């Protein structure tokens, strides 16, 4: 079956520092990967959509300078939160899309970021 | 613009009660509709999806009908159990390409034993 692994599951960083999170698709080819942030106050905020052979598309309020993403192959993606501050706290979800299954989005368990 | 609306933020039921979670969508295209379930401490899991209008999707006792006339995709279950306690998200994807998914705000279901 299609599985998506994210690591680390939880991380704490000091204000102003950066942290990197990873996303691994197992059992299918992730032709596109969507990174979301889920905070206690809001539902899913789409950060960016990364599609193979296309430029990464960032949503409004999110930039490559703040959330650089790497999507080097069909099974792996990583995102870094640069200069993290309190407002960056939340659960970061990776959704990998399987083009062989009607482009269904499969999520990992998320990386929960806390900022001190 | 495209959107998914879930009006119910929280639902509390007793075991064996009937579950109904409201979901309506707005788009000019022909979307695929989804229900995701998120248990505490986990990421969202796909519960069911329906691509074709007027079809019904079902999984684990849950079902939802893609009603293009009323632009709705309500989630139902005849008899809920405590293990069904979770947050349920209605979602929509227009088309079959790499378009964005649109999620509702989620409905938190608590089932009391």
- DSSP letters for B8-65: -SEEEEETT--EEE--EEE-SS-EEEEEEEE-TTS--EEEEEE-STT-EEEETTEEEE
Q: Is B45 on the interface with A (CB under 8 A)?
A: yes
| pLDDT tens column, B72-100 | 999 999 999 999 999 999 999 886 655 67
- In the prediction, which pLDDT does B98 show? 59
CB contact under 8 A, B98 and A31: yes
Which residues of A are less than 8 Å from B51 in CB distance?
102
Question: According to the model, what pLDDT value does residue B82 have?
Answer: 97
- pLDDT at residue A53 tops 90: no
Interface with chain A: mutation pick from B44, B97, B102, highest number of A CBs within 10 Å: B44
- The size of the A-B interface in CB pairs under 8 A is 51
pLDDT tens-digit profile of A73-113? Answer: 889 999 999 999 999 999 999 999 887 776 788 999 999 99
Residues of A whose CB is below 8 A from B103: 43-44
- Inter-residue long-range contacts of B65-70, CB under 8 Å, 24+ positions, other chains counted: B66/B33, B70/B24
Whether B7 and chain A come into contact, CB under 8 Å, resolves to: no
- Nearest CA to B42 out of A26, A10, A115 is that of A10
Q: Do B43 and A104 touch (CB under 8 A)?
A: no
Mean per-residue pLDDT for B14-23? Answer: 97
* Backbone conformation region of residue B112, classed left if phi is above 0, alpha if psi is from -120 to 50, else beta: beta
The per-residue pLDDT for B97 is 59
Is 80 exceeded by the pLDDT of residue A1? no
Contacts of B96 in chain A (CB under 8 A): 102-103
With a cut of 90, say whether residue A25 has pLDDT above it: yes
């Amino acid at each position: 079956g299609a599985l998506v692994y994210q690591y680390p599951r939880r991380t704490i960083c000091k204000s102003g520092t950066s942290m990197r999170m990873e996303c691994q698709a197992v059992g299918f080819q992730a032709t596109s990967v969507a990174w979301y942030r889920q905070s206690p106050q809001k539902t899913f905020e789409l950060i960016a959509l990364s599609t193979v052979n296309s430029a990464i598309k960032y949503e409004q309020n999110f930039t490559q300078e703040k959330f650089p993403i790497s999507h080097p192959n069909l099974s792996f993606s990583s995102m870094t939160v640069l200069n993290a501050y309190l407002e960056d706290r939340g659960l970061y979800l990776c959704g990998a899309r399987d083009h062989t299954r009607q482009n269904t989005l499969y999520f990992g368990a998320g990386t929960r970021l806390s900022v001190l | 613009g495209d959107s998914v609306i879930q009006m119910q933020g929280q639902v509390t039921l007793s075991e064996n009660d009937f579950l109904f979670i409201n979901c309506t969508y707005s788009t000019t295209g022909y979307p695929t509709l989804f229900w995701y379930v998120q248990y505490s401490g986990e990421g969202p899991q796909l519960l069911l999806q329906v691509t074709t209008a007027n079809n019904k999707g079902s999984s684990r006792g849950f079902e939802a009908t893609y009603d293009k006339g009323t632009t709705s995709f309500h989630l139902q279950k005849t008899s809920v159990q405590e293990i069904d306690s979770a947050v349920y998200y209605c979602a929509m994807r227009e088309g079959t390409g790499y378009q964005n998914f649109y999620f509702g705000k989620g409905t938190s279901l608590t089932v009391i034993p």
